């Protein structure tokens, strides 16, 4: 039940990447006995951890929101 509940709490989204990057991620995932999706999630979690930010900290700071586009100087 825990794993099924965890799947329901995930947010699906479309990710467009090059076929070459997908092949590299697929090979890496295979080496670590993960799906490509699980490998991407693992890589992203590690990147967040290395930046010294907790996932809950990101949610509280509003980092889940879509960032505004940078203003261009005209």
Give how many domains the chain has, as a whole number: 1
Grouping H, G, I as helix, E, B as strand and the rest as coil, residue 27 is helix
Residue given tokens 């697929």 in the structure block: 26
Nearest of 59, 56, 15 to residue 39 by alpha carbon:
15
User: Domain limits at 38?
Assistant: 18-61
| Residue 1 pLDDT grade (very low, low, confident, very high; cuts 50, 70, 90) | very low
On whether residue 44 sits in a domain, the answer given is: yes
On whether residue 49 sits in a domain, the answer given is: yes
On whether residue 57 sits in a domain, the answer given is: yes
On whether residue 22 sits in a domain, the answer given is: yes
On whether residue 12 sits in a domain, the answer given is: no
Q: Tell me the pLDDT tens digit for each residue of 34-47.
A: 999 999 999 999 99
Task: State residue 25 phi and psi, 5-degree precision.
Answer: -65, -40
Residue with the bigger pLDDT between 13 and 66: it is 13
On whether residue 42 sits in a domain, the answer given is: yes
Q: Do residues 29 and 35 lie in contact, with contact meaning Cβ atoms separated by under 8 Å?
A: yes
Nearest of 7, 16, 22, 13 to residue 66 by alpha carbon:
13
Q: Tell me the pLDDT tens digit for each residue of 5-30.
A: 566 688 898 999 999 999 999 999 99
């Amino acid at each position: 039940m825990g794993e099924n509940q965890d799947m329901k709490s995930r947010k699906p989204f479309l990710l467009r990447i090059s076929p070459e990057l997908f092949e590299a991620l697929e090979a890496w995932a295979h080496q670590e006995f993960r799906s490509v999706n699980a490998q991407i999630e693992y890589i992203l979690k590690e990147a967040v951890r290395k930046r010294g930010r907790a996932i809950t900290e990101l949610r509280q700071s509003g980092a889940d929101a879509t960032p505004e586009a940078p203003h261009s100087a005209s």
